[in-house]
Amino acid sequence: MDLVLATGNRDKQREMKVFLRDLALTIRTLDEFPAAPAVIEDGETCRSNAVKKAREIARFTGMLTLADDTGLEVDALGGRPGVYAARYAGPHATYEDNCRKLLDELTGVPVDQRGARFLTVVAIADSDAAVEFVEGTLQGRIADHGSGLHGFGYDPVFVVPELGKTLAELTLDQKNQISHRGQALAKAKVVLKRKLRRNIGA
């Protein structure tokens, strides 16, 4: 059974592949479908973006498709950057650009007011574009400087209080055990296993 990952972000692809490696699925990426449409993420929520990506790529490929969207809500910024996290510093912003803008905006904000949370929505669409979605969240706070060499995105500045470390200071396996995306993918695996059982019994 094939599963298409509806993301061109190779960092996300790597995390997803590791998490789903024990399933009886052939994982495929958008690199294998150069004519696939570039899905415009114009939704107001992570859910709407994830569902849109999953549905459009499933319709194009005719295959089971998994898509995700992640937002970062920072208390001191009134919930920003939210759904715009990946392009917070501009449409072509790098991870470093986004982190720098976030830290600049939080200059002078005390530790106890730097609370934040990640939200990931994973959507799974069948070839007929019927969609199921699951969510994962991670509470934490924004550091006053980046730390750690692993991960991507805002990982170097997102502190997990229980561990006293940023996500970028964790290994991929450690991160997948606790992260917002890891939680959502764990729930997505339940959905995928159910689909696999149905496929085998068909």
Q: What is the CATH number of the domain that holds 155?
A: 3.90.950.10
Residue 178 above 90 pLDDT?
yes
Instruction: Give residue 176's domain range.
Output: 2-201
Residue 202 has a pLDDT of 47
Question: pLDDT class for 126, splitting at 50, 70, 90?
Answer: very high
What average pLDDT does the segment 62-81 reach? 97
> pTM higher than 0.95, yes or no?
no
Residue type, 21: R
Question: pLDDT class for 198, splitting at 50, 70, 90?
Answer: confident
Q: What is the pLDDT of residues 94-114, one digit of tens each?
A: 999 999 999 999 999 999 999
In Å, what is the CA distance from 176 to each residue of 58, 92, 93? Answer: 25, 27, 25
Residue 200 has a pLDDT of 67
Virtual torsion, Cα 54, 1, 5, 63, nearest 10 deg: -40
Residue 162 has a pLDDT of 95
What average pLDDT does the segment 174-189 reach? 94
Residue 201 above 60 pLDDT?
no
Residue 56 has a pLDDT of 96
Neighbour-count burial of 126, counting CB atoms closer than 10 A to its CB (0-12 exposed, 13-18 middle, 19+ buried): middle
| Cβ-based neighbours of 90, under 8 Å, separated by 6 or more | 97
Residue 181 above 90 pLDDT?
yes
- Give me the number of domains the chain comprises: 1
Give the catalytic positions in this structure: 69
Task: Look up tokens 């450690």; give the residue.
Answer: 174
- At 28, is the secondary structure helix, strand, or coil? strand
